[in-house]
Amino acid sequence: MDDSAKHPLTDPLMIARFENFPSDGAERKLLENWLSGSAQRWVFNVNAAKSLLQVIDTTNLSLTARDMHNFKSLLGIDGDIRKTFSSQGVEPEVLKTLFGDPREYHVEPCSDDSLTYLLRQNHDIDILIGMCHLTEVVYDGYDSISPSQSLNNGELTTRLDQYFKKKYAGPGVRWLKKALPHYMEMYNRSIHYGKTIVVLQSSGTGKSRTLAEMANSPEHWGISVCFRGLGSLKTPDAGDGYPLGDRSVFGCLNMLPKDVFDELKYVKNEEIAAAFMGALFDVVHGTIMSSDGQKEAFDKSWAISDVGHENAPRFKNFDKVRTNAIGLLKAHAKEILNARSLAPKVLIEPSPQTPSVAHHKMTVDSTSGPVDSDVDMKTEDPSAFESPPETATWVAELFNILVIKPAETLDDDRCKLNLSCFTFTFDESSQMNFGYRPVPNKKPPDDRITLLAMQRVIKACDQFNFWFPMLDTTSGLADVFPDANKETALSFRLQGTLWPLPPWIYMPFDVMVPSSEKLPKTPLEALLLDRLQLYGRPLWSTYKDDEIMRLAQKKLLCDDPEHFPRDDNDKYDLQTLALHSTRFVLNLTAEGAASRMAIDSVRSHLRVLTDYNASTCVLKTEVLSEPILAIAAGEILLRSKKTYKDSMDLLVEKLLLTLKVVSLGENGETCGRIVLIVNRDATVHAAGGQLCVVDAVKNEIVKQEYNKSRHMLYAVRPFLLVSYLHQLLDRKKLHQVDGAYDSGLEWASKVYMNFTHFYQLEDFIESELSYDYVLSCWRRGVALQCVHSQPVIDKLLIGYIGDLSEPFDPKMFVFIAVQIKNRVSAAKLNLINTITCPFLKFGSKRWKPEYMAILIDLSTSTCFKDSHERVQVTKCKATKDQVWSAFDRTKEYPAVRINIRGLQPYLSLKEWAPKIPDLQSGRGLTDFSSFNEDFESTQKFSKNTLALSRKQTLAKQKKLFKGDV
């Protein structure tokens, strides 16, 4: 640092910062070279900040908080500093020099006094170095070996492009091809607002690839336009999504040249949309002609590859669309101005019964109940759906001026090629509304595109067989679908009572899973990350095993993992919900805060949309089994014991008990899953972390550090059931009959387990599970949550006895059968003896595998009379109580049975989720005290079965079955 710029204040962080960048050091030289080279934008902003401060100093004004915010914003240090500089294309070497490794350091802006001092000293290099400081990332969890290799933007773009070109896998295209004729048959010009199919699903599910693959098939012709990044000045970043935006066309959508305004003064949204559409149709026709109608040549000219490369055919085509669209606006300026006489003069105000559009007003349906898809349009006030009739007339006139001729020409091409339709896929379609949310009584800004304007022009295309798939996550729901029941009149968007076509949400999962002969042959091989990442959405298979964790964590949190938890409460809530949902299944209820959180979770936190009804605006979401996400969530939580505890506290106290994001009737089962997953986390933490390194040559887990060699691979750490039991219970505080627990520990010392998350079964376990199904559960690391009213068991954990490096042996699989009870009154003593497990079937053979039975009696505080302990362990054969065909007296044999009362006995809860054992009855998580076990099992009222008066029982029934408090 120059002598004139030495800091006169005693700011230790500033002093330490400059000491790391001596005047003759290589790091300082690197930054100086960057300032004199590619940092012009940042230098410009610095000069603006200096000038602003100089004006304030000259006028003797006091600096305000707003002034400091402006300074920091100009310098790029008012938010996520690394992300801001990275998005501006700063070289990775410069980023690391300035801000260090994100795994090791947090970046924070310097103090306000220090920042103003630096700006007054007028040395750009000192401002660059001193404007922020680093603090070490402190981990108080285990010394994780979690893979955290990250890719720079160029590497990520190349990787995604390579995988985008690979052979398509899965039934997604086949499903969509079958659906398209049904959409065509369904479409009615007088009912639907345009030949638009909204493709909705969360990130990484293959929306773009599926539509691109369909367009590339011999019988379908089409192109795509990606609006990702529209309205942004930052460098395209594959980390924000792929494909990259078609930036070469953006100049006709939001950055029109000055000479257009010389002719038109201003440009309306619909005029821009029509000019774009006319130019697009014309350029597509030109590529059909230049390819002589050959499909392969046509597809190459629009291929999604190197979209930012100026020599790529796609880039040139869209640059031509931009040029032609601008040319259309100038060439037809007089006609466009004349047509404005047809445009509506004012926007109609919404009636009191039709409030403005609000994205968060959409409702979410509980996964446990049916969606009511019937809407009685007769109950609506027809006047609420009136709109200025000029709108449709004006847009039709624009269509005749700017679009009709190229549309007719392209439709002639379609007929000559004998095509049923031509498709124009609009990827990230809601980004046409960048920085703007449609509101009925607010005129949209001129001189830019809006999605509404594009929809109106698409509606004007009705006479042609052109279809427009629009791809988006739920961020676009409020843009592409009007809310018919509660929100703005449909006519705000288009003329009359027009309705959208049903959305397409069916993106298949597990498409990268290979055929059975290529699946892992040993239990150990199944634990490898490069095997587990084939399950779930296809995005995960794009990455290597040392890259996948950070990518999955970033996607799940919608943020860099090192920044978790954020101070933003709403964001922290959503992130916490996402982390835990991937591991122990949280089925969100249909009301309250859960409704909003479901929509946000699909948009930003990878929750899966399973149904959306555009007429009722009700959606259903689920969390499907994705091992990589479950593991990534565990890595984030286990990084710090404080982070883990705080996250569990937030989940239980706020999300479950206060906001009630899951239905009241599911709290007991949810609590049971929490107990089992928390104990699993405590077990792997004690073993050194949930990840380990496998030497693929030696076929064994090794303790040495991971290296890049092909035979050293990351894997999920298996754990012994005996270790799991040690974390679960204190052996000194349980009562065992005839050494039953010791016998159980001896057996458990041979049983390996590997579950990372729960999977919700969709049907009853009748009497048996197939070997193939149990094998698939091991291969993806799931524990099973049974359906409601499944006899005898509620959860099933899967274990394996034997050498993990040897091929799978069907006889080596074992079960841990778990039943959950959530009543204040203790379960019957003999209930634990009724628990058995399903049969296992392989080919023509069927047998009862070895198993352990656990009864989790959550809500009771009663001790066992004989021992005054809350845990009792016995060993005996199962006895019949409830009807279940898996019980066979002749096949039953003695099994260890662990009966646990209340939440106090669980050691791992006290260490990792200490507020759960302290929950009092009546809080809601463990609070169902309706009637005793006899009534529950017999469903008959009698003198002996009713523990409460009739009035009390009815009140409790209402609470239990209807969710009323």
Comparison of pLDDT for 720 and 789, the residue scoring more = 720
Q: Is residue 335 part of a domain?
A: yes
Per residue in 279-326, pLDDT (tens digit) is: 999 999 999 999 998 999 999 999 987 655 778 899 999 999 999 999
pLDDT score for 709 = 62
Residues 6+ apart with CB under 8 A from 678: 648, 906, 908, 909, 912, 913
pLDDT score for 440 = 60
Same domain assignment for residues 692 and 780: yes
Smallest CA-to-CA distance from 790 within 818, 815, 825, 832 is with 818
Same domain assignment for residues 106 and 176: no
Q: Is residue 23 part of a domain?
A: yes
pLDDT score for 540 = 93
Same domain assignment for residues 775 and 650: yes
Q: How many domains does the chain have?
A: 3
Q: Is residue 478 part of a domain?
A: yes
Residue type at position 484: A
Distances (CA, A) of 944 to 494, 834, 935: 66, 21, 9
What the block records as the tokens of 395 is 């847009």
Comparison of pLDDT for 744 and 346, the residue scoring more = 744
pTM of the entire structure? 0.78
pLDDT score for 374 = 33
Smallest CA-to-CA distance from 386 within 516, 468, 492, 279 is with 492
| Residue 798: strand pairing partners | 815
What the block records as the tokens of 164 is 């985008």
Same domain assignment for residues 114 and 209: no
Q: Phi/psi at 715 (nearest 5 deg)?
A: -150, 160
Same domain assignment for residues 18 and 70: yes
Of these ranges, 3-12, 118-127, 606-615, 671-680, the one predicted with the greatest mean pLDDT is: 671-680
Asked if residue 346 has pLDDT above 60, the reply is no
Task: Provide mean pLDDT across the span 378-401.
Answer: 64
Asked if residue 769 has pLDDT above 50, the reply is yes
Cis amide bond preceding 503, omega within 30: no
pLDDT score for 388 = 53
Same domain assignment for residues 706 and 638: yes
Q: Is residue 164 part of a domain?
A: no
DSSP state of 620: E
Asked if residue 524 has pLDDT above 90, the reply is yes
Same domain assignment for residues 668 and 791: yes
pLDDT score for 747 = 97
pLDDT, averaged across the chain = 82
pLDDT score for 478 = 55
Same domain assignment for residues 488 and 520: no
For residue 306, the SS3 value is coil
Asked if residue 364 has pLDDT above 90, the reply is no
Same domain assignment for residues 757 and 827: yes
Q: Phi/psi at 614 (nearest 5 deg)?
A: -70, -25
pLDDT score for 477 = 57
Asked if residue 376 has pLDDT above 60, the reply is no
Task: Provide mean pLDDT across the span 702-723.
Answer: 84
Residue for token digits 């860099």?
560
Quick one: how far is CA 529 from the chain centroid?
20
pLDDT score for 925 = 54
Query: CA-to-CA distance for 81 and 88, rounded, in angstroms?
Result: 11
Provide the domain limits for residue 308. Answer: 171-232+252-351+385-492
Q: At what angle do helices 641-649 and 667-686 cross, to 10 degrees?
A: 180
Asked if residue 619 has pLDDT above 70, the reply is yes
Same domain assignment for residues 478 and 418: yes
Smallest CA-to-CA distance from 204 within 744, 624, 726 is with 624
In this prediction, what percent of the chain has a pLDDT beyond 90? 47
Per residue in 244-261, pLDDT (tens digit) is: 889 999 999 988 999 999
Under the banding of pLDDT at 50, 70 and 90, the label for residue 386 is very low
Per residue in 830-880, pLDDT (tens digit) is: 999 999 999 999 999 999 999 999 999 988 888 998 888 999 999 999 998
Task: Provide mean pLDDT across the span 427-456.
Answer: 84
What the block records as the tokens of 348 is 């109609």
Q: Phi/psi at 950 (nearest 5 deg)?
A: -60, -40
For residue 226, the SS3 value is strand
Same domain assignment for residues 182 and 53: no
Q: At what angle do helices 627-638 and 667-686 cross, to 10 degrees?
A: 70
Q: Is residue 898 part of a domain?
A: yes
Query: CA-to-CA distance for 773 and 759, rounded, in angstroms?
Result: 13
Same domain assignment for residues 760 and 635: yes
Query: CA-to-CA distance for 512 and 510, rounded, in angstroms?
Result: 5
Query: What is the number of residues in the chain?
Result: 965
Residues 6+ apart with CB under 8 A from 343: 268, 390, 391, 394
In this prediction, what percent of the chain has a pLDDT beyond 70? 82
Comparison of pLDDT for 268 and 387, the residue scoring more = 268
Q: Is residue 957 part of a domain?
A: no
If you write DSSP's letter for every residue of 4-43 in order, what string do you get?
A: GG---S--HHHHHHHHTS-TT-HHHHHHHHHHHTT-HHHH
Q: Is residue 809 part of a domain?
A: yes
Q: Is residue 357 part of a domain?
A: no
Instruction: Tell the burial category of 903 from Cβ atoms under 10 Å away from its Cβ (0-12, 13-18, 19+).
Output: buried
Query: How many CA atoms does the CB half-sphere of 398 hold within 13 Å?
Result: 33
Query: CA-to-CA distance for 172 and 178, rounded, in angstroms?
Result: 10
Percent of the chain as helix, strand, coil, to the nearest 5: 45, 15, 40
